[in-house]
Chain A
Amino acid sequence: MSTVNHDAELARAGANITGWVSQLAFTARRYPLGAVGALIVLVFILTAVFANFIAPMDPTSTDAKSSLAVPGGKFWLGADFMGRDMFSRIVHGARISLAVGAGATLIGGALGIAIGLTSGYLGGTVDLLTQRLMDIMQSLPLLVMALVMAAALGPSLQNTIIAIAIPLVPSVARVVRSSTLSLREQPFVEAARAVGMGEMRIAVRHVLPNTLAPLIVLGTAQLGSAILVEASLSFLGLGIPEPYPSWGRMLSESAAEYVRTAPWLVIFPGVAISMTVFGTNLLGDALRDILDPRQRS
């Protein structure tokens, strides 16, 4: 029979850690993949925010002389057919990806929360009708729904965000609804009602905060898919219009033609998309492990 070394066990569980820096370091050691993901996402966000300072050149200025310049020298990652610096375009592309990714996730999330909370809390006919509407929306794959919406709205930055946000609504609404259904029977909700709180206030102040953990996990996953869908839409020519440098459109411009002659036009934007989405996926996985102990592996 071995004796339990209480101090060692406590240290292993991180019980004596105070201060947010050491908290962060402890969490990072515990979830190394998640830490890598968080780092990638942080770099992505900083690149998007400080694009003007990072990019050495104007991403839209053309220069016939440097058309299809190979990587190296003045153009770190080469130049495209119009002589635009690829590095600067990719840096500025982060802005578009972040704007569309975060914009679509937030709008889709807000709508989904409102619908899910109302549906789950009120129940009855409202619930039935919204559920059927969500069924209808979910009968189309994300990309197809976004394609049709994008075509219906016309190409622009705002419209692309909306076209991706709407198809994201049903999954948020379903998650919020199902947690709301179980939460509204909880004693603390009854207690709130007993002390005379209004239904609206109970829903927002007591029920909603308890659905946050799965929502954060879902939101991170949706951020990744929103970025991917934007890239796909732009690749197909139905997303972000000129002159914004979108990673997806950079690939569609360079697609078949330059596979042989200028591979850097194909490689770098794809690396940017994949790294960003990979980072959000890693972060999402770690957040799920941290926030949802039932799914912990």
Chain B
Amino acid sequence: MGSYLVRRLLLMALTLFGMSVLIFVMLRLVPGDISDILVDAAGIADPKEKAKIAKELGLDRPIVEQYGQWVGGLTRGDLGFAYVSERPAIEEIAPRIPISAKLALMALFFSVIIGVPFGVISAVRQNSLMDYGLRILSLSGLSLPSFWLGLLVLMAAVHWFGTIPIYTNEPRGFLAEVGLLAIPAAVVGFRSSALIMRLTRSSMLEVMRQDYIRTARSKGASNASVNYDHALRNALLPVVTIIGIEAAFLVGGLIVTETVFNIPGVARFLVEAIRWRDYPIVQNLVMLIAFVVVMVNFLVDMAYMVLDPRIKFGD
């Protein structure tokens, strides 16, 4: 157990290190850097002016040195300066994290409370009309692009209510914020709920074919007891793992949904920073996302080990 943990943590560190190299190199392959954009925007054509900007931003130094400076800073909590706003990157990124985190947690909550019960119903009534209907619903959930679903919701709200609550200033109080985020979170969560529902269904079906379920039935346990006490408890185990996959899924949903609903979170910020070639922001945000995904997967594996005594990662 102990050695497994150590190995696992080392692997995580290695993965994140590899990611940092990958993202750093990839961003420097871009034809034209921020100095081009700034020069274009200011309408200056003087190459000397451009070289000066590049020097100020440290873009003229060797790439290895630039990388060393970035990663060295990371370990000290110094993320460098954003090119566009010229403020410390941490000041730009940090206030946006809680917004995206709240949105993601609410979306996860939605996807679980919709996905698990529907998955169970679908499995218990396998091949019924209900099952078919729910399966089609979940497949359509996976097929709708979340930005389009967001646009449709916007459209419906504008049509019926004339307006929709938009995240402009800092909302007052917790409830106000939940109210603002509920609709976008439901949009992101709907898509993820489809994934959870499908997994719950197939996992439930698998468990229901096990011998101990037949034993429970032959003992005379009621249908409800067999379905919920015996089957569901065991079927939920693999569903826990999907939360790991969900983390990646949710980030994708957040990127487009924050854009559609104009929510000032990190995911929309990433798109803006990419458009502006604002490397310090992009590389730090990508590292943040990779860290979250790797971390969630790690926690899910740990949770799995605690929940399922059959799994032992001893050796």
Contact = CB atoms under 8 A, between A and B. Distances in A.
A270 B260 CA distance: 14
Contacts, number: 142
B31 A282 contact: no
A255 B154 CA distance: 10
Contacts of B18: 132-133, 135-136
A33 B133 CA distance: 11
Interface of B: 11, 14-16, 18-19, 22-23, 26-27, 29-31, 126, 132, 135-136, 139-140, 142-145, 147-148, 151-152, 154-155, 158, 202, 205, 248-249, 251-252, 255-256, 259-260, 270-271, 274-275, 277, 282, 286, 289-290, 293-294
Interface residues of A, number: 47
A226 interface: no
Contact of A277 (B23, B31, B143, B260): B143
A151 B272 CA distance: 11
Contacts of A144: 251-252, 255, 270, 286, 289
B248 A141 contact: yes
Contacts of B202: 295, 297
A228 B289 CA distance: 20
Contacts of A139: 15-16, 19, 290, 293-294
B148 A274 contact: yes
A110 interface: no
Contact of A270 (B14, B135, B148, B154): B148
A147 B15 contact: no
B139 A236 contact: no
A273 B148 contact: yes
Nearest to A232: B256
Given A144-B270, A255-B151, 6 more contacts: A135-B11, A140-B290, A143-B255, A148-B27, A270-B151, A281-B139
A154 B30 CA distance: 7
Please classify the interface of chain A as helix (H, G, I), strand (E, B), loop, or mixed, using the class held by over half of its residues: helix
Contacts of A154: 30-31
A131 to B, nearest CB: 10
A40 B142 CA distance: 16
A216 interface: no
Contacts of A267: 152
Interface stretch (A54-62, A185-193, A258-266): A258-266
A148 B23 contact: yes
Nearest to B144: A274
Nearest to B202: A297
B275 A274 contact: no
Contacts of A231: 145, 147
A123 interface: no
A275 B143 CA distance: 7
Q: Which 7 A-B pairs have the closest CB atoms?
A: A270-B148, A143-B252, A136-B18, A278-B143, A141-B248, A277-B143, A139-B290
Contacts of B142: 224, 277, 281
